[in-house]
Amino acid sequence: MVFQQLAGAPDQRLILFCDHASNALPPAYGDLGLARSQLERHIAYDIGAAQVTRRLAALLDAGAVLAGFSRLLIDPNRGEDDPTLVMRMSDGAVIPGNARADAAEIASRVERFWRPYRRACASLVDAALAANRVPVLLGVHSFTPSFRGRARPWPCGVLWDRDPRLSAPLIEGLRAEGLLVGDNEPYDGALKNDSMYELSTARGAPGALIEIRQDELETLEGCEVWAQRLARILPDVLARAETQQLAFFGSRADRRP
């Protein structure tokens, strides 16, 4: 399965996308030469992100698209021209099945996996715009509790690019829950041609990514806590995003690589 698409209510403006929902690999690619233990790591997918996305979509009756293949095959969050689209090494692990992936092989993976997923996401956005509804896009990701030996203190982070209409009220809402929230931490959201750029920035729609630390999502109960939390916060966030003006758009253009 290249992607899973969940239909939302026709009047629900929120659209969810989960780029790293799965660690699945097509049979033709085997295990890419990796031990099963490696495929259970963050290098293969965002642990817990799919469970939060599906549950949140159900709670808010939101449309959603979840990628059905591992980021090790090809990363659906990266731009098509990104040199890390097919990783040969990730977090210290060599990916044998990607070592000889030449331009033709990468182009094949783009056509068979990356592009259908992106098109599915874009179809929900474009359908909303065609119906004169401004969609609000939220990507759901997770991150490791530490990186290169350093603990990451934030239980969650909100990544955004040039338009703070969604990110600003979302950060405020999460902080009101007593959480330490990373503002463009642990990553910077300004990455040209990634999912957020293509689906929201380039279309002028409010968008952001939420990153949840993986130790918060180790159990189904933890995933449920986060889905319920976001379902509680997002209606007010969406209402506030709708009233924001476009004057902020472009305010972070200097951070675009």
Question: What pLDDT digit, counting tens, does each position of 124-137 carry?
Answer: 999 998 888 889 99
Report the half-sphere exposure of 254 (CA within 13 A, side-chain side).
Answer: 1
Which option is the CATH number for 3-255: 3.30.420.480, 3.40.630.40, 2.60.40.10, 3.40.50.20? Answer: 3.40.630.40
129: enclosing H helix or E strand: helix 115-130
Question: What pLDDT digit, counting tens, does each position of 69-122 carry?
Answer: 999 999 999 999 999 999 998 877 899 999 999 999 999 999 999 999 999 999
Q: What is the spatial distance between Cα 162 and Cα 208, in angstroms, rounded to a whole number?
A: 10
What average pLDDT score do residues 30-44 get?
95
Q: What is the spatial distance between Cα 16 and Cα 129, in angstroms, rounded to a whole number?
A: 15
Q: Helices 49-60 and 220-243: crossing angle, nearest 10°?
A: 50
Give the residue among 123, 97, 102 at the shortest CA–CA distance from 31: 97
DSSP strand pairing (136-143 vs 207-213): parallel
Q: Compute φ and ψ for 76, nearest 5 degrees.
A: -70, -10
- pTM to 2 decimal places: 0.92
The structure tokens listed for 102 are: 């030449």
Domain ranges of the chain: 3-255
Helix boundaries (H) for the chain: 36-39, 49-60, 103-109, 115-130, 167-175, 195-199, 220-243
205 CB burial (10 A radius; 0-12, 13-18, 19+): buried
The answer, yes or no, to whether residue 183 has pLDDT greater than 70, is yes
Q: What is the spatial distance between Cα 234 and Cα 240, in angstroms, rounded to a whole number?
A: 10
